[in-house]
């Protein structure tokens, strides 16, 4: 069907003839027509069909269609295709195209190529003099308006060079035609779509010499119809970005040329669609790479694309734009795992390929130039507005709210510089609390380790601490399958900070705990208020709350670490949701345009803060595992209540869940172990909820007196305990209530109250779950971490109220200055009295001692009495420790005499049981029954043998305990010093057969197991070890050198029936090989054993879990990515991969402020695509 021409159309006149007509009327000698124009006079007539594809382009179509119908060389046939527009684009095509022009409809999901195919199906092919060989297709987007002479210039280029079958236009910006978008397209060796146009490059004719190019943009592309049909049109596997590259690529391989015509320009808005996102560009790049490569290169390119996707993801994480990287990685995987699609495309391309693939190589960009181009783009990214140095006291402060006086606007408010440094309050608080700590814990100076309460020394090396934390075999007693506690990673970090000495690092941490607590609270308070007085009060309050003193005094290191990290986690969550208050520095005020979209404030989420908060949450939940469910629920509440502002918060759960995952897998059979506290199990009496709300984890009687408060007891026997609690907590709680009632920040305060109530409810629930067995008691999770969380959340609500009240007082007029001072003094007294009393109650008894309760009066210390003391950095005597850390890995049986003739016993490894060796799974192994009604169950075989062996030793009946000690791997017996009962017991042990006294040591009495006996009762004269090689009769042949878990040694040839016996519980995870051949597993009672053939060779023993490698990789990825994301970078470097992806294909850029907004407003699409008029070009 022939299109209808406009009134100015001159059918039958060719382009070259019209060019010649322009010179009529000029002086003959003025200009001789060039040879190309003369040759054009004999060119055949051409027929041009313009195809306009529209999708919701109503704002651009009128100008595009007007430009199309006003061409100096009129179009012959007009064709419109609408792809499911909802803005009236189809009506515009019908009304503004020339009368009679067909308008086809395509699916809304159809890409550009599919739409062109649908439109061309509406047009019949012509025969005779109007054959298809003379027909050309001019393809236009709805947002691409050609210059009036664009078609004429394109036709001139193709008529003068018959080998050219595709010609394209110079693309300029729709709004600013002076700015270049592209002048032809090219690719790198990895099939990246590149314009090679610098950022904001202006059109100065610098590219007007370009002609043959790798590809041209589909907007304004002129393609010969017969070639288009022979090539099969656009590849259906590329619905958007990359379809023009592919068509030009195949055109080249078919033996034709592609040229760009710089004199033909098109204004292009480069709008975005689902087919033109960065994700679509990545899919197209991989598709093109695999489609046009030689078959033998495909596997290598496949692997390279996968590695490139991973690199892109890591680069985006570093640039604080993980969602972009995740989408790019997802696009990579989608493109790689659709082999049917690209193999079909390869077959289609092979049908039309007539030349070597290498013919296009000279038109691609060398990789060095690509790298240089990327570096140039990274360096030219539009820098963000710098902070204005206005408020230095000598200039003006544009942000001041003061109004000029005198009816003149020639005056601006002078900026007053700050009189003191903003961190002065922190320094004062830290110094005061450091003095209190030094005075109260002076005895800890120089201590190699701290013991008592829940504390033990830490292993001597970071490697051993890490092994205990990551091992799937618990090296306590006779061993147990399970995973090390996540708290071991916290201890490893402390040991690294202590230059490898974990015990010394714990001593330092305890002594600096008060200043560190104050620092955390001070920084967190800065996200809620800029009032220095409130921040100072928050710092002192947080370092003096009773729950913190209880954790410090009882040696609950997990609860102590959790208390120190809670403020940092809250700070991270506040900034992750953009809820922090804007920091204002009078000496350097930030310009409004700089801070509007700054992450962490003004509702702008922050990935860096979410990652940092997640690392803190990981430390908290590792130190107090019972808080993990609370953290998960609270983050879910944040996501549901804050909507888009909380889109980064989910990352804060990645580190804690990654750390807890192996414990969850190992504890599926006994979930109660997942909630246990790290450290030695300590029995306690949980406080009722109303006391926990006031900051007290341990119960006290309201009518009790205060231990250590001798003066108060002499004054009156009043309920001093209740009075202390009211003074310490009520002012803060009252302020927190005010914060939630109404006004600015009330919604945040109510959310904090909800979190506090949720935490206290979890505390009550945890008190019903037994998680460990302590001497004489069943232990539940400690209430301290729950109380710490609820207290800080309420402290944050109080800071919101205090900030609001101070702003209200600032607005009072001068006549009310007296009232203002009165209110301020009263608030200072009430709020400051609690921390002062709390610190005094903790410090004074360190000198006066704790007054004991009497029959007439119960005195309480709230559990803050110091039960920790300096100790040695090992538990065992040096002789036993040497054997325990040597190749034999021999154990020591440690006995402790208790009251009433009781004796507790433990089999210790190495130099003694350490804090990092302790395991919640091991502590919960004796519990059985329902979770809420647990009881202590019967001993297993290993514990039963240990119990009977101890009974034999302490009874002094003359029974030989050596066979059992050999099976337990025990080489020494230690009796710890306690009282006269221990001395009496030592006398009885001296008479036990097979035990020879070494003497009294710094760790207690020591006996060595000598002349170990065989089953026949004769002394073999050899020592025991963790791993033994025995003959068929059980006689010791050889001790096998062993490490912490694995063992490897050479064994000599021997008789058949030999066995390797481990002093470890039997478990399917144990494996052993001899010369690489797996040995048959057996058992020796409760102990793991292996059958050994008569041959000599190298024997290797180890323990492995099928989950170990996969969980390890997952943890490394989760923690590693979080650390990368948490490292701050300059603001101008944020979103760098996204911006470069956008610029290298379109030549346009968006500021980080725009990207920050778009990244969280349009999560389902590319963030850049959400910007009006700044989508990625296709």
Residue with tokens 């001070």: 522
pLDDT score recorded for residue 1016: 54
Q: How confident is the model at residue 32 (pLDDT cuts 50, 70, 90)?
A: very low
Q: How confident is the model at residue 1034 (pLDDT cuts 50, 70, 90)?
A: confident
Asked whether the predicted pLDDT for residue 1162 surpasses 50, the reply is no
Which structure tokens are listed for 632?
Answer: 């998960």
pLDDT score recorded for residue 1177: 38
Distance from the first to the final alpha carbon of the chain: 30
C-alpha dist (Å) from residue 899 to 841, 896, 951, 977: 31, 10, 16, 13
Asked whether the predicted pLDDT for residue 1105 surpasses 60, the reply is yes
Asked whether the predicted pLDDT for residue 525 surpasses 70, the reply is yes
Asked whether the predicted pLDDT for residue 122 surpasses 50, the reply is yes
Arithmetic mean of pLDDT over the chain: 84
CATH superfamily of 40-380: Spore Coat Polysaccharide Biosynthesis Protein SpsA; Chain A (3.90.550.10)
Bridge-based pairing of strands 995-1001 and 1004-1009 is antiparallel
Asked whether the predicted pLDDT for residue 99 surpasses 70, the reply is yes
Beta partners for 187? 193
Mean pLDDT, rounded, for 1037-1066: 92
Q: Could you give the CA distance from residue 235 to residue 248 in angstroms, rounded to a whole number?
A: 11
Asked whether the predicted pLDDT for residue 1161 surpasses 50, the reply is no
Bridge-based pairing of strands 1087-1092 and 1058-1065 is antiparallel
**Which has the higher per-residue pLDDT, 795 or 1158?**
795
Residue pair 275/241 in contact (Cβ under 8 Å)? The answer is yes
Q: Could you give the CA distance from residue 915 to residue 908 in angstroms, rounded to a whole number?
A: 12
pLDDT score recorded for residue 264: 97
Identify which of 516, 521, 463 has the alpha carbon closest to the alpha carbon of residue 491. 463
pLDDT score recorded for residue 380: 66
Residue with tokens 């760009």: 260
Beta partners for 135? 47
pLDDT score recorded for residue 1164: 40
pLDDT score recorded for residue 597: 60
Asked whether the predicted pLDDT for residue 1070 surpasses 80, the reply is yes
Contact partners, residue 1171, CB within 8 Å, separation at least 6: 1150, 1154, 1158
Residue pair 1125/651 in contact (Cβ under 8 Å)? The answer is yes
pLDDT score recorded for residue 583: 65
Asked whether the predicted pLDDT for residue 1150 surpasses 60, the reply is no
Using DSSP's 3-state secondary structure scheme, residue 515 falls into helix
pLDDT score recorded for residue 720: 84
Identify which of 746, 739, 748 has the alpha carbon closest to the alpha carbon of residue 637. 748
Mean pLDDT, rounded, for 1042-1056: 91
pLDDT score recorded for residue 981: 79
pLDDT score recorded for residue 828: 81
HEC assignment per residue over 41-77: CCCCCCEEEEEEEECCCCCCHHHHHHHHHCCCCCCCE
Count other Cβ atoms within 10 Å, centred on residue 116.
25
Residue pair 37/16 in contact (Cβ under 8 Å)? The answer is yes
Lowest-confidence segment of 21-30, 400-409, 930-939 by average pLDDT: 21-30
HEC assignment per residue over 1020-1074: CCCCCCCEEEECCCCCEEEECCECCCCEEEEECCCCCCEEEEEEEECCCCEEEEE
pLDDT score recorded for residue 1165: 40
Mean pLDDT, rounded, for 1142-1169: 48
Beta partners for 1036? 1030
Q: Which fold has domain 1027-1103?
A: Immunoglobulin-like (2.60.40)
Identify which of 90, 91, 92, 65 has the alpha carbon closest to the alpha carbon of residue 78. 65
Q: How confident is the model at residue 458 (pLDDT cuts 50, 70, 90)?
A: very high
User: Per-residue pLDDT tens for 753-780?
Assistant: 999 999 999 999 999 999 999 887 899 9
Residue pair 621/627 in contact (Cβ under 8 Å)? The answer is yes
pTM of the complete model: 0.83
Q: How confident is the model at residue 220 (pLDDT cuts 50, 70, 90)?
A: very high
For the chain, percent helix, then strand, then coil, each to nearest 5?
45, 15, 40
Output the CA torsion 983→987→992→996 (10° steps): 90
Bridge-based pairing of strands 77-82 and 103-105 is parallel
Count other Cβ atoms within 10 Å, centred on residue 108.
13
User: Per-residue pLDDT tens for 609-638?
Assistant: 999 999 999 999 999 999 999 999 999 999
Residue with tokens 């025995």: 1030
Asked whether the predicted pLDDT for residue 714 surpasses 80, the reply is no
Q: Could you give the CA distance from residue 975 to residue 898 in angstroms, rounded to a whole number?
A: 11
pLDDT score recorded for residue 24: 34
In the chain, CATH 2.60.40 covers 1027-1103
Residue pair 764/630 in contact (Cβ under 8 Å)? The answer is no
Q: How confident is the model at residue 863 (pLDDT cuts 50, 70, 90)?
A: confident
Q: Could you give the CA distance from residue 507 to residue 457 in angstroms, rounded to a whole number?
A: 10
Identify which of 819, 838, 839, 817 has the alpha carbon closest to the alpha carbon of residue 827. 819
pLDDT score recorded for residue 950: 94
C-alpha dist (Å) from residue 307 to 119, 312, 333, 356: 40, 9, 11, 28
User: Per-residue pLDDT tens for 415-454?
Assistant: 444 556 778 889 999 999 999 999 989 999 999 999 999 9
Which structure tokens are listed for 1177?
Answer: 């070009």
Q: How confident is the model at residue 581 (pLDDT cuts 50, 70, 90)?
A: confident
Q: Could you give the CA distance from residue 388 to residue 619 in angstroms, rounded to a whole number?
A: 39
Q: How confident is the model at residue 1167 (pLDDT cuts 50, 70, 90)?
A: very low
Q: How confident is the model at residue 250 (pLDDT cuts 50, 70, 90)?
A: very high
Q: Could you give the CA distance from residue 889 to residue 319 in angstroms, rounded to a whole number?
A: 48
Residue 666 sits at φ, ψ, to 5 deg, of: -70, -25
Asked whether the predicted pLDDT for residue 869 surpasses 70, the reply is yes
pLDDT score recorded for residue 22: 35
Stated as kind and residue range, the H or E segment containing 736 is: helix 720-741
Q: How confident is the model at residue 198 (pLDDT cuts 50, 70, 90)?
A: confident
Identify which of 1024, 1035, 1034, 1040 has the alpha carbon closest to the alpha carbon of residue 971. 1024
Q: Could you give the CA distance from residue 224 to residue 155 in angstroms, rounded to a whole number?
A: 11
Residue pair 755/781 in contact (Cβ under 8 Å)? The answer is no
User: Per-residue pLDDT tens for 740-752?
Assistant: 987 888 899 999 9
Q: DSSP letters along 571-601, please?
A: HHHHHHTT-BPPP--TTSPPPHHHHTT-TTB
Where b means 16+ CB within 10 Å and e means fewer, 185-220 reads: bbbbebbbbbbbbebbbebeeebeeebebbbbbbbb
User: Per-residue pLDDT tens for 123-177?
Assistant: 876 544 445 457 999 999 999 999 999 999 999 999 989 899 999 999 999 999 9
Q: How confident is the model at residue 2 (pLDDT cuts 50, 70, 90)?
A: very low
User: Per-residue pLDDT tens for 400-411?
Assistant: 334 444 443 443
pLDDT above 70: percentage of residues in the chain: 83
Q: Could you give the CA distance from residue 601 to residue 583 in angstroms, rounded to a whole number?
A: 9
Lowest-confidence segment of 35-44, 900-909, 1113-1122 by average pLDDT: 35-44
Highest mean pLDDT among 490-499, 701-710, 1037-1046: 490-499
DSSP secondary structure code for residue 387 in this structure: P
User: Per-residue pLDDT tens for 547-575?
Assistant: 999 999 999 999 999 999 999 999 999 99
Bridge-based pairing of strands 1077-1078 and 1070-1074 is antiparallel
Residue pair 534/460 in contact (Cβ under 8 Å)? The answer is no
pLDDT score recorded for residue 854: 59
In the chain, CATH 3.90.550.10 covers 40-380
């Amino acid at each position: 069907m022939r299109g209808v021409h406009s009134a100015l159309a001159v059918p039958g006149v060719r382009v070259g003839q019209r060019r010649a007509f322009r010179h009529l009327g000029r002086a003959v000698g003025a200009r001789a027509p060039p040879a190309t124009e003369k040759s054009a006079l004999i060119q055949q007539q051409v027929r041009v069909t313009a195809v306009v594809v529209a999708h919701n382009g109503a704002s651009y179509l009128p100008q595009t269609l007007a430009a199309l119908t006003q061409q100096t060389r009129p179009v012959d046939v007009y064709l419109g295709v609408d792809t499911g527009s909802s803005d009236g684009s189809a009506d515009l095509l019908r009304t503004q195209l020339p009368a009679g022009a067909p308008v086809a409809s395509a699916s809304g999901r159809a890409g550009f190529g599919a739409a062109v195919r649908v439109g061309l199906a509406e047009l019949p092919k012509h025969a005779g003099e109007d054959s298809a060989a003379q027909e050309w297709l001019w393809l236009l987007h709805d947002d691409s308006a050609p210059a009036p002479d664009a078609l004429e210039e394109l036709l001139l280029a193709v008529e003068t060079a018959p080998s050219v079958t595709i010609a394209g236009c110079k693309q300029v910006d729709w709004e600013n035609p002076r700015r270049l978008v592209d002048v032809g397209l090219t690719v790198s060796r990895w099939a990246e779509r590149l314009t090679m146009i610098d950022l904001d490059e202006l059109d100065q004719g610098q590219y007007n010499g370009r002609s043959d190019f790798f590809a041209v943009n589909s907007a304004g592309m002129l393609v010969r119809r017969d070639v288009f049909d022979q090539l099969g049109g656009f590849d259906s596997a590329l619905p958007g970005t990359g379809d023009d590259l592919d068509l030009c690529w195949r055109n080249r391989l078919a033996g034709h040329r592609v040229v760009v015509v710089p004199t033909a320009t098109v204004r292009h808005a480069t709008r975005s669609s689902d087919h033109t996102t960065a994700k679509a560009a990545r899919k197209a790049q991989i598709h093109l790479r695999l489609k046009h490569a030689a078959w033998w290169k495909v596997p290598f390119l496949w692997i390279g694309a996968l590695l490139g996707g991973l690199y892109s993801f890591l680069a985006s994480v570093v640039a604080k734009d993980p969602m972009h990287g995740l989408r790019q990685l997802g696009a990579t995987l989608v493109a790689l795992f659709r082999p049917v699609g690209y193999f079909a495309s390869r077959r289609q391309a092979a049908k039309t390929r007539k030349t070597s693939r290498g013919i296009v190589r000279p038109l691609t960009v060398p990789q060095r130039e690509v790298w240089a181009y990327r570096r140039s783009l990274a360096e030219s990214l539009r820098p963000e507005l710098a902070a204005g140095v206005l408020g230095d006291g000598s200039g003006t402060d544009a942000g001041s709210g003061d109004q000029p006086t005198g009816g003149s606007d020639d005056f601006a408010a002078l900026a007053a510089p700050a009189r003191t440094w903003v961190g002065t309050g922190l320094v004062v608080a830290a110094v005061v609390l450091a003095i209190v700590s030094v005075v109260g814990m002076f005895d800890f100076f120089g201590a190699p380790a701290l013991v008592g309460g829940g504390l033990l020394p830490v292993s001597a090396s970071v490697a051993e601490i890490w092994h205990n934390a990551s091992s799937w075999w618990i090296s306590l007693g006779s061993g147990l399958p399970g995973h090390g506690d996540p708290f071991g990673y916290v201890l490893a970090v402390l040991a690294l900070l202590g230059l490898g000495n974990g015990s010394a690092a714990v001593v330092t941490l305890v002594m600096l705990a008060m200043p560190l607590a104050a620092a955390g609270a001070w920084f967190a308070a800065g996200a809620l208020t800029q009032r220095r007085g409130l921040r100072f009060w928050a710092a002192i309050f947080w370092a003096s709350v009773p729950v913190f003193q209880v954790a410090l005094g009882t040696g609950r290191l997990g609860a102590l670490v959790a208390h120190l990290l809670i403020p940092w986690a809250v700070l991270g969550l506040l900034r992750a949701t953009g809820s922090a208050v804007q920091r204002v520095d009078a000496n350097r005020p930030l310009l409004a345009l700089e801070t509007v979209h700054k992450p962490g404030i003004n509702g702008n989420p922050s990935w860096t803060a979410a990652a940092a908060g997640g690392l803190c949450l990981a430390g908290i939940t590792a130190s107090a595992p019972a808080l993990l469910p609370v953290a998960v629920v609270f983050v879910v509440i944040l996501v549901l209540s804050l909507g888009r502002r909380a889109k980064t918060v989910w990352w804060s759960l990645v580190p804690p869940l990654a750390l807890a995952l192996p414990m969850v897998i190992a504890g599926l059979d006994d979930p109660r172990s997942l909630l246990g506290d790290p450290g030695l199990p300590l029995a306690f009496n949980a406080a009722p909820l109303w006391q926990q709300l006031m900051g007290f984890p341990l119960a006290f009687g309201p009518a009790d007196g205060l231990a250590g408060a001798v003066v108060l007891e002499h004054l009156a026997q009043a309920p001093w305990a209740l009075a202390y609690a009211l003074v310490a907590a009520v002012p803060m709680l009252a302020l927190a209530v005010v914060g939630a009632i109404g006004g600015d920040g009330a919604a945040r305060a109510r959310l904090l109250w909800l979190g506090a109530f949720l935490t206290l409810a979890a505390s009550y629930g945890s008190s019903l779950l037994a998680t460990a067995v302590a001497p004489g008691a069943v232990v539940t999770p400690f209430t301290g971490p729950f109380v710490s969380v609820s207290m800080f959340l309420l402290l944050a609500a109080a800071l919101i109220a205090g900030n609001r009240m101070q702003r209200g007082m600032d607005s009072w007029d001068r006549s009310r200055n007296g009232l203002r001072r009165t209110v301020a003094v009263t608030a200072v007294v009430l709020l400051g009295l609690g921390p002062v009393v709390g610190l005094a109650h903790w410090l004074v008894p360190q000198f006066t001692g704790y007054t004991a309760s009497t029959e007439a009066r119960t005195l309480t210390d709230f559990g803050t009495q110091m039960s920790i003391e300096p100790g040695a950095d090992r538990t065992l005597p040096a002789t036993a420790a040497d054997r325990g850390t040597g190749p034999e890995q021999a154990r020591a049986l440690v006995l402790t005499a208790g009251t009433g003739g009781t004796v507790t016993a433990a089999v210790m490894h190495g130099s003694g049981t350490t804090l990092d060796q302790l395991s919640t799974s091991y502590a919960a192994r004796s519990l059985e029954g329902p979770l809420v009604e647990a009881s202590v169950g019967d001993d297993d075989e290993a514990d039963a043998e240990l119990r009977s062996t101890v009974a034999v030793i302490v009874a002094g009946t003359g029974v030989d305990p050596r066979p059992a000690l050999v099976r337990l791997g025990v080489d020494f017996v230690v009796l710890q010093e306690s009282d006269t009962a221990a001395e009496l017991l030592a006398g009885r042990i001296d008479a036990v057969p097979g035990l020879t006294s070494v003497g009294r040591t710094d760790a207690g009495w020591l006996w060595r197991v000598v002349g170990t006996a065989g089953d026949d009762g004769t002394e073999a004269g050899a020592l025991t070890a963790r791993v033994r090689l025995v003959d068929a009769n059980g006689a010791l042949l050889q001790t096998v050198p062993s490490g912490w878990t694995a063992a490897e040694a050479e064994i000599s040839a021997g008789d058949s029936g030999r066995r390797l016996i481990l002093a470890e519980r039997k478990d399917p995870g144990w494996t052993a090989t001899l010369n690489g051949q797996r040995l048959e597993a057996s058992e020796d009672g409760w102990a793991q054993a292996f059958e050994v053939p008569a041959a000599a060779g190298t024997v290797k023993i180890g323990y492995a879990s099928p989950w170990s490698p996969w969980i390890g990789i997952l943890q490394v990825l989760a923690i590693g990515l979080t650390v990368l994301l948490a490292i701050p970078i300059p603001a101008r470097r944020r979103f760098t991969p996204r911006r470069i992806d956008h610029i290298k294909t379109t030549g346009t850029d968006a500021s980080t402020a725009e990207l920050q907004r778009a990244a969280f407003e349009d999560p389902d699409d590319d963030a850049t695509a959400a910007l009006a008029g700044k989508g990625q070009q296709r």
